[in-house]
């Protein structure tokens, strides 16, 4: 144990030394850059990431304040001045603190679990039909994506609805809860990461109500990991009065089924954009929808 503590301390000091040099020179490095510099000391990227997270928690600052950047993961598209002129999705910038202002006339922000879903909506001209902002963290979001979503929320929460679209499985609901409530790893940054948003699906109950043909051909069975995530979320949501999410999770467990957004594309290429999202937006944005 003593040897382990000494080794941990040595890694900590070495990492602090590199960070000090970056700050003094006003330079930045990615986590990958650091890993290659410290490869003899760290066996895996994950072990370095864990130490970086521990350091950020200890001094309660985001990694960007340590001049450590992640490779941009999140993507945005929509009615924002940050978007490229051709209308394609672009990476969420690392230097969020350098953004002085954001202007938009969007009616909503739609946070999407998968990049493939965002690209499908763009291909179907979703933004030409509905003036919104699309964000994806490409699975579980990194801090930069969550900070950017929170930045939009703080500035536009009185003008826009914040929505979340994921697969109809426990992991999808987990991702929506990370955006809404944050994660234990970065609890010290909770005020800079959380936001109030509504999970709009995909819901198994929606698929039941649509009375779709051959629905069972596209349903998947829950695995052990799905069931563990579902039960953990139910216990968490009971304390937060998230009754709708609890009902959805219990329906998944009872039916032992889940479904992916890809399923809607298999019905029809434009089903997600022109049918499912149209129904959701009409219901949620009833006051603004007539202006679309």
User: Of the ranges 25-34, 101-110, 172-181, which one carries the lowest mean pLDDT score?
Assistant: 25-34
Strands of 10-82, DSSP E: 29-30, 68-69, 75-78
Confidence of residue 228 (pLDDT cuts 50, 70, 90): very high
Residue 261's domain spans which residues? 75-289
What is the structure's pLDDT at 143?
80
Euclidean distance between CA atoms 81 and 79, whole angstroms: 7
Residue 272 and residue 149 share a domain: yes
pLDDT tens sequence across 229-254: 999 999 999 988 899 999 999 999 99
pLDDT tens sequence across 11-49: 888 888 888 888 887 777 777 777 777 777 777 888 888
Residue 119 and residue 104 share a domain: yes
Angle at CA of residue 8, ends 142 and 193, nearest 5°: 20
What is the structure's pLDDT at 71?
61
Residue 28 designated active-site: no
Contact 134, 127 (CB under 8 A): yes
DSSP 215: G
Euclidean distance between CA atoms 271 and 6, whole angstroms: 58
Single out the catalytic residue among 4, 12, 28, 36.
36
The tally of CA atoms less than 13 A away on the side-chain side of residue 241 is 0
Q: Is the pLDDT of residue 214 over 70?
A: no
Residue 131 and residue 241 share a domain: yes
| pTM, full prediction | 0.73
**Domains contained in the chain, number:** 2
Element (H, E) at 200: strand 198-201
Residue 64 and residue 49 share a domain: yes
Quote helix, strand, coil % in the chain, to nearest 5.
55, 10, 35
Residue 98 and residue 49 share a domain: no
Euclidean distance between CA atoms 149 and 140, whole angstroms: 14
């Amino acid at each position: 144990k003593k040897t382990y503590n000494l080794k941990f301390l040595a890694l900590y000091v070495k990492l602090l030394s590199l960070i000090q040099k970056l700050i003094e020179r006003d330079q930045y490095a990615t986590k990958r850059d650091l890993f290659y510099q410290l490869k003899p000391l760290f066996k895996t990227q994950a072990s370095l990431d864990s130490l970086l997270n521990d350091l950020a928690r200890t001094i309660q600052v985001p990694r960007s304040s340590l001049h450590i950047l992640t490779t941009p993961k999140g993507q945005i598209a929509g009615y924002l001045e940050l978007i490229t002129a051709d209308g394609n999705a672009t990476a969420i910038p690392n230097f969020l603190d350098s953004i002085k202002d954001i202007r938009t006339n969007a009616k909503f922000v739609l946070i999407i679990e998968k990049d493939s879903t965002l690209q499908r909506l763009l291909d179907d001209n979703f933004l030409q039909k509905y003036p919104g902002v699309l964000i994806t963290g490409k699975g579980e979001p990194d801090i930069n994506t969550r900070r950017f979503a929170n930045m939009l929320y703080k500035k536009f929460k009185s003008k826009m609805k914040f929505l979340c679209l994921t697969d109809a499985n426990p992991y999808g609901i987990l991702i929506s809860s990370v955006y809404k409530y944050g994660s234990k790893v970065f609890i010290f940054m909770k005020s800079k990461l959380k936001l109030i948003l509504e999970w709009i699906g995909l819901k198994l109950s929606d698929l039941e109500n649509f009375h779709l043909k051959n629905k069972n051909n596209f349903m998947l069975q829950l695995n052990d990991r799905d069931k563990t995530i579902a039960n953990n979320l139910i216990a968490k949501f009971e304390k937060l009065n998230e009754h709708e999410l609890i009902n959805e999770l219990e329906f998944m467990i009872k039916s032992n089924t889940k479904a992916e957004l890809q399923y809607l594309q298999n019905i029809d290429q434009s089903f997600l954009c022109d049918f499912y999202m149209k129904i959701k937006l009409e219901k949620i944005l009833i006051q603004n929808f007539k202006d679309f």
